[in-house]
């Protein structure tokens, strides 16, 4: 069967696709369109790696929870009575019913709606009616999921043994994030976008700004166009803006020195399992935030930040997240695949817990740049999905400014290679067990 035209793919075919992919080229169509590659992604990537899923600001009080659908697994992320963030499988240990259906809420205990087995917020079983006297409750707590919080960001990992390098990455990024005190922030707004595109197209699009000039006029007003420029690249026409950039960079250097905030870029996007990149960029105009001409969009600054001209702290994490931390708010993005051609992109805006809506910020102004940017990006990735689904599509070469896209793809292919080798039989089985109706 020709994989490019056939309805399904075998492990051997997927392995061949991985091995023949030329460096610096986009992926072949089945990576974006096939049910089998999607199933593999859900196991090899979303079932094996640390995923950014929520912020602590979404769970301010004990009993507050959110649910997340990661492939076929539903997860409860809840703040327990001791204020620890827990992640639990949303599957009752009696006869398996889904316990919580809402995307978020607050509970005293977790009560299964079927026969009322009742669990503490730490997942322990505390009540099960009509069991024999020797019933051992200890054996039937909700199954835990690995969970880690880093400076107010919540990560879960469905694997039995999560990637061991997460602590190293957390130690690198935590000092950058610390001044914003995200663990004490509040959610000002959240938007879920369902995008008709494969999750990798969503991530690839995020990993380059090659499309920004043509597509993101609102976002671009905040940034200088000189990232990675040397003085020699600057034409006379660009000189005034370049001088503003140099002044804003010098100011940012100074703020970082005074506040002991890390300033250097750290980039390991494809050289470790928990790939990341973190950098701080100076902003144009007022240099503060995403308001008109770089103006603040919230009057209260985040956490310990004292100078509004603190730039944009940009964090990229493989496989599913990116973040922008400004002096006055943070905007965080989490990507969860829903189907081969469908992806949920959740955007959350955080402000200081004491910031008052209508007084310190206005939701429309706070969210305006990224609402526009998200809509523009959604259009772009949907066009890409339609194009890669066309029989005439063939992989094309990345440009020089698309090196982080290459890093994302390289990271992804390494993970798939690692997965296919030891799990070969498991995956072969997975494909054959998938009911035809769901393909
Ligand atoms: S399935 Fe949950 S109590 Fe019966
Ligand atoms: Fe974009």
Which ligand has the shortest distance to the CA of 131? 1
- Ligand nearest to C-alpha 111: 1
> What percent of the chain is modeled with pLDDT above 70?
94
Q: Which CATH number fits domain 51-150: 3.40.50.720, 2.102.10.10, 3.40.50.150, 3.40.50.2300?
A: 2.102.10.10
Nearest-CA residue for ligand 1 atom 4 is 115
Omega before 97 within 30 of 0, i.e. cis: no
CB 188 within 8 A of CB 363: yes
Transcribe 261-285 into DSSP letters. Answer: ---S-EEESSSSSS-EEEEEE-BST
> How far from the centroid of its chain's Cα atoms is residue 136's Cα?
39
User: How many angstroms is it from 106 CA to the middle of ligand 1?
Assistant: 20
Distances (CA, A) of 324 to 116, 176, 313, 416: 42, 12, 6, 29
State the fold for domain 1-49+166-439.
Naphthalene 1,2-dioxygenase Alpha Subunit; Chain A, domain 1 (3.90.380)
Q: How far is the CA of 91 from the centre of ligand 1 (A)?
A: 9
Ligand 1: distance of its center to the CA of 268 in Å?
45
Q: Find the 381 Cα to ligand 2 centroid distance in Å.
A: 9
CB 360 within 8 A of CB 298: yes
Which residue's CA lies nearest to atom 3 of ligand 1? 115
Taking ligand 2, which is a single-atom ion, which protein residues have CB atoms under 5 Å away?
377
Mean of pLDDT over the chain: 94
Q: What's the pLDDT score for residue 225?
A: 84
Residue 159: pLDDT band (50, 70, 90) is very high
Residues 6 or more apart from 239 whose CB is under 8 A from it?
A: none
For the chain, domain boundaries: 1-49+166-439, 51-150
**What pLDDT does 4 receive?**
44
Is 136 exposed, middle or buried (CB count within 10 Å of its CB: 0-12, 13-18, 19+)?
exposed
Ligand nearest to the CA of 95: 1
| Spatial distance between the Cα atoms of 328 and 222, rounded to a whole number of angstroms | 14
Residue with tokens 């998200």: 374
Average pLDDT over residues 306-330: 98
Report yes or no: 213 and 220 within 8 Å, Cβ to Cβ.
yes
How many percent of the chain have pLDDT more than 90? 89
Q: How far is the CA of 76 from the centre of ligand 1 (A)?
A: 16
Cβ neighbors of 405 (< 8 A, separation 6 or more) are 204, 207, 208, 398
Mind listing the pLDDT tens digit for each residue in 332-368?
999 999 999 999 999 999 999 999 999 999 999 999 9
Show Cβ contacts of residue 264 under 8 Å, excluding neighbours closer than 6 positions.
none
Structure tokens at 55: 């912020």
- Give residue ranges with CB within 6 A of ligand 1: 92, 94-97, 112, 114-117
Q: Is-contact 185 57, C-beta < 8 A?
A: yes
Q: Tell me what the mean pLDDT of segment 87-105 comes to.
A: 98
Q: What is the pLDDT of residue 294?
A: 93
Tell the residue nearest (CA) to atom 1 of ligand 1. Answer: 95
Task: Give the CA count within 13 Å in the CB-facing half-sphere of 24.
Answer: 5
* CA-based torsion, 330, 70, 12, 417: positive or negative: positive
């Amino acid at each position: 069967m020709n994989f490019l035209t056939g309805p399904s793919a075998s492990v051997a075919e997927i392995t061949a696709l991985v091995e023949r992919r030329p460096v610096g080229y986009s992926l072949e169509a089945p990576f974006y369109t096939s049910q089998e590659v999607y199933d593999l992604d859900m196991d090899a990537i979303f079932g094996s790696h640390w995923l950014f899923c929520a912020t602590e600001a979404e769970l301010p009080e004990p009993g507050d929870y959110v649910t997340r659908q990661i492939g076929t697994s539903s997860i409860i992320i809840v703040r327990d009575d001791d204020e620890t963030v827990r992640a639990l499988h949303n599957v009752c240990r009696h006869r398996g019913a889904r316990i919580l259906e809402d995307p978020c809420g607050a509970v005293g205990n977790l009560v299964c709606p079927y026969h009322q087995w009742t669990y503490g917020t730490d997942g322990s079983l505390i009540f099960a009616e009509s069991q024999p006297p020797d019933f051992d409750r200890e054996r039937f707590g909700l199954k835990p999921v690995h969970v880690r919080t880093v400076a107010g960001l919540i990560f879960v990992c469905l694997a039995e043994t999560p990637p061991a390098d997460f602590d190293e990455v957390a130690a690198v990024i935590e000092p950058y994030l610390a001044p914003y005190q995200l663990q004490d922030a509040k959610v000002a707004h959240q938007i879920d976008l369902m995008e008709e595109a494969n999750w990798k197209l969503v991530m690839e699009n995020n990993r380059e700004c090659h499309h920004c000039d043509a597509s993101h006029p609102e976002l671009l007003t905040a940034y200088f166009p000189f990232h990675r420029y040397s003085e020699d690249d600057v034409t006379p026409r660009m000189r005034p803006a370049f001088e503003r950039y140099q002044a804003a960079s010098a100011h940012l250097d100074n703020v970082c020195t005074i506040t002991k905030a890390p300033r250097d870029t750290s980039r390991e996007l494809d050289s470790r399992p928990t790939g990341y990149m973190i950098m701080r960029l100076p902003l144009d105009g007022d240099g503060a935030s995403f308001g008109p001409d770089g103006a603040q969009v919230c009057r209260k600054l985040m956490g310990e930040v004292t100078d509004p001209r603190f730039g944009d702290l940009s964090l990229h994490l493989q496989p599913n997240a990116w973040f922008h931390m400004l002096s006055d708010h943070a905007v965080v993005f989490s990507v969860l695949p829903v189907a081969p051609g469908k992806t949920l992109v959740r955007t959350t805006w955080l402000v200081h817990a004491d910031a008052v809506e209508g007084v310190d910020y206005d939701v429309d102004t706070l969210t305006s740049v990224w609402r526009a940017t998200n809509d523009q990006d959604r259009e772009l990735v949907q066009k890409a999905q339609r194009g890669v689904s066309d029989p005439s599509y063939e992989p094309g070469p990345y440009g020089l400014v698309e090196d982080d896209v290459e890093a994302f793809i390289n990271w992804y292919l390494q993970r798939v290679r690692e997965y296919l080798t030891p799990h070969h039989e498991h995956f072969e089985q997975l494909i054959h067990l998938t009911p035809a109706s769901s393909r």
